[in-house]
């Protein structure tokens, strides 16, 4: 059997609004993405995941969709999407669209119709409910963006559900018209050449029918009263039938199309990553820089997924989390650790998802409060810093205004010195983070298909991890001092220039990793 194209692939997340601006209005767009596809091909990725580019009021920068069948005018046109896909396919790159099925924008025609009258049939496309006798919301569910998960519709006196921002009302998937409409949406973008979907909050589509309050329980360790973690609002069994149907639809298309779920909890992923449902879900490594914590995180993800051809999809950053260079210590230390972390993950079985700018070594940007636009910042009245810091536009050219992203002021301001990490400067340097990513991805592409889908942990001193995949050995030093280890092969790639194998011993500098090949050349 032919190995599916996505198995072991390297995916690259493009945050469309911040990737490349083709018309100098300060906002990234689809023609900008098309103009930089050659860059992504040189980087060595296999597929591009586009964050939502549909018409939207941009209250959550595209994750509040007002029309699932078109392109936001800020980002271009349907013709621009077609050209992007055509050019990507010429370069043998796949294109994934970001599908947002849990909620719409409050400006979507369905919701606007639902607000018009209690009797409008679109009312049942969402969750509208009467409040409690005391005037409070229908239940005690909380929004991920702070506050109650309900907003009162003043015209009718009822409340509507939103697990995220009030401008993002949740769809009622118990209404059969909702899944039927999304089957049409799925086909629409596949017919235009999309190679699959990343599915936003993939396990949340169906909510508890009874809309019951979440029980409050006492934590046995802290004694604090908190919501019962065993009480599920989402993750209802009916969601699996949705993905079975989508899988049937995708199977009608050739070449193979892929479904990627935003489901981070490893124990839940195994219920979704099945031959008749999703192909993969994310394995985000978000633990501190500690050997024991990283091994435990890797083991949890690998043990949760067992079966032929099933492996985690590793990632270090995305548009919702602080950039990992910053999380790993920031500055030169954070970048050293980021290089080591890349080698540690690229050696593992499975797919890898990169987030735009990590290949440049970008850190979390300090966006001034007055410039922040994330609803997480807005709806928590600034108590949560929000996610704008990882979404600042990419620097393309050193020494140019706004680092070559746009002549106009970018939609989020770039910090001073951002152009030091510009693509053109890093492409000209053989020691840059970008050059290192290219070497690592190229080596992985050549070797990974011939390696087994399992690893074996090797003996290592405290603060060091080693594992082996047949001929490949990966060693990572989490310590702030160099270590020497027995070498089981020749050094083929290292994250630090002073790593070396001499007299049968591998020297690993602080915060570094290396790949060794046990098969001699010749």
| Concatenated DSSP letters of 169-201 | PBB-TTSTHHHHHHHHHHHHHHHTT--EEEETT
200 classed as catalytic: yes
Structure tokens at 426: 């890093």
How does DSSP assign 488-520, residue by residue? Answer: -SEEEEESSTT-EEETTEEEE-TTEEEEEE-SP
Query: Rounded to an integer, what distance in angstroms lies between the CA atom of residue 326 and that of residue 334?
Result: 6
> Given a cut of 50, is residue 352 above it in pLDDT?
yes
CA distance 413 to 407: 13
Residue 283 sits at φ, ψ, to 5 deg, of -115, 90
**pTM over 0.85, yes/no:** yes
Instruction: Determine whether domain 109-161 maps to CATH 3.30.565.10.
Output: no
Q: Can you list the alpha helix ranges (DSSP code H) found in 306-414?
A: 324-327, 331-346, 375-379
Give φ, ψ of 246 to 5 degrees.
-65, -40
Whether the CB-CB separation of 286 and 321 falls below 8 Å is answered with yes
Respond yes or no: is residue 426 known to be catalytic.
Answer: no
pLDDT score, position 172: 98
Where in the chain are all domains bearing CATH 3.90.400.10? 109-161
Residue 306, Cβ density class (10 Å: 0-12 exposed, 13-18 middle, ≥19 buried) = exposed
Q: Does the pLDDT at position 520 exceed 70? A: no
Largest CA distance in the chain: 81
- pLDDT of 522 > 60? The answer is no
Angle between helices 177-191 and 239-250 (to 10 degrees): 30
Question: Could you tell me the pLDDT band of residue 1, with boundaries at 50, 70 and 90?
Answer: low
Here the tokens at position 112 are 């606007």
The whole-angstrom separation of Cα 116 and Cα 265 is 39
Lookup: tokens for 129:
């409910």
Distance between the two ends of the chain, CA-based, in angstroms?
Answer: 31
Kindly report, residue by residue over 102-146, the tens digit of the pLDDT.
Answer: 999 999 999 999 999 999 999 999 999 999 999 999 999 999 998
Q: How far apart are CA 207 and CA 453, in angstroms?
A: 36
User: Which of 134, 154, 252, 503 does the annotation list as catalytic?
Assistant: 252
For CATH 3.20.20.80, list the domain ranges present in the chain. 10-103+175-206+240-441
Distance CA 463, CA 100 (A): 41
Please tell me the CATH code under which domain 10-103+175-206+240-441 is placed. Answer: 3.20.20.80
CA distance linking residue 72 with residue 68, whole number of Å: 10
Mean pLDDT score of the chain: 96
Mind listing the pLDDT tens digit for each residue in 394-432? 999 999 999 999 999 999 999 999 999 999 999 999 999
Q: Which two three-digit tokens encode residue 222?
A: 């802290």
- At residue 70, the pLDDT reads 98
- Can you identify the CATH homologous superfamily of domain 455-517? Golgi alpha-mannosidase II (2.60.40.1180)
Structure tokens at 351: 């797919």
220-256 per-position pLDDT tens digit: 888 889 999 889 999 999 999 999 999 999 999 988 9
CA angle, 374 then 34 then 316, to 5° = 50
Catalytic hit among 64, 200, 235, 358: 200
Give pLDDT, residue 255: 86
Residues 281, 285, 287, 291, Cα dihedral to 10°: 130
* Helix/strand/coil for 351: strand
Q: Residues near 377 by Cβ (< 8 Å), separated by ≥ 6?
A: 369, 384, 385, 386, 388
CATH 2.60.40.1180 residue ranges in the chain? 455-517
Contact between 353 and 311 under an 8 Å Cβ cutoff? The reply is no
């Amino acid at each position: 059997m032919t190995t599916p194209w996505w198995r072991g692939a390297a995916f690259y997340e493009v945050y469309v609004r911040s990737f490349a601006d083709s018309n100098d209005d300060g906002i990234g767009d689809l023609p900008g993405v098309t103009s930089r596809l050659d860059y992504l091909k040189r980087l060595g990725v296999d597929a591009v995941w586009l964050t939502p580019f549909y018409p939207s009021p941009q209250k959550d920068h595209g994750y509040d969709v007002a029309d699932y069948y078109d392109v936001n005018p800020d980002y271009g046109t349907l013709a621009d999407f077609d050209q992007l896909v055509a050019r990507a396919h010429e370069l043998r790159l796949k294109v994934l669209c970001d599908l947002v099925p849990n909620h719409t924008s409050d400006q979507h025609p369905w919701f606007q119709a639902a607000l018009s009258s209690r009797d409008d049939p679109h009312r049942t496309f969402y969750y509208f409910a009467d409040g409690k006798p005391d005037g409070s919301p229908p239940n005690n569910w909380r929004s991920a963006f702070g506050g109650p998960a309900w907003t009162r519709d003043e015209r009718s006196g009822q409340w509507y559900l939103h697990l995220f921002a009030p401008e993002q009302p949740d769809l009622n998937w118990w209404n059969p018209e909702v899944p039927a409409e999304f089957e049409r949406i799925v086909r629409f973008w596949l017919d235009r050449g999309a190679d699959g979907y990343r599915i936003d909050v993939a396990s949340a589509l169906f909510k508890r029918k009874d809309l019951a309050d979440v029980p409050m329980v006492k934590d046995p360790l802290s004694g604090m009263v908190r919501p019962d973690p065993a009480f599920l609002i989402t993750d209802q069994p009916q969601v699996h039938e949705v993905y079975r149907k989508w899988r049937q639809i995708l199977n009608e298309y050739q070449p193979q199309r892929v479904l990627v779920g935003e489901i981070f909890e490893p124990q839940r992923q195994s219920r979704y990553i099945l031959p008749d449902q999703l192909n993969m879900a994310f394995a985000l490594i978000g633990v501190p820089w500690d050997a024991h914590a990283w091994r435990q995180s890797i083991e949890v993800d690998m043990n949760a997924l067992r079966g032929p051809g099933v492996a985690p999809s590793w990632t270090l950053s995305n548009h919702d989390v602080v950039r990992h260079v910053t999380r790993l210590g920031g500055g030169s230390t954070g970048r050293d650790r980021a290089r080591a972390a890349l080698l540690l993950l690229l050696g593992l079985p499975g797919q890898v998802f990169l987030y735009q700018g990590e290949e440049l070594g970008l850190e979390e940007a300090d966006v001034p409060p007055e410039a922040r636009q994330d609803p997480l910042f807005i709806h928590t009245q600034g108590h949560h810093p929000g996610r704008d810091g990882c979404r600042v536009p990419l620097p393309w050219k050193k020494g140019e205004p706004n680092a070559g992203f746009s002549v106009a002021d970018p939609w989020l301001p770039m910090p001073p010195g951002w152009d030091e990490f510009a693509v053109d400067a890093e492409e000209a340097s053989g020691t840059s983070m970008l050059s290192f990513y290219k070497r690592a991805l190229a080596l992985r592409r050549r070797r990974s298909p011939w390696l087994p889908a399992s690893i074996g942990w090797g003996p290592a001193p405290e603060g060091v991890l080693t594992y082996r995949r047949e001929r490949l050995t990966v060693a990572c030093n989490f310590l702030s001092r160099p270590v020497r280890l027995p070498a089981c092969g020749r050094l083929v790639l290292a994250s630090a220039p002073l790593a070396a194998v001499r007299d049968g011993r591998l020297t690993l500098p602080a915060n570094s990793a290396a790949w060794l090949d046990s098969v001699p050349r010749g």
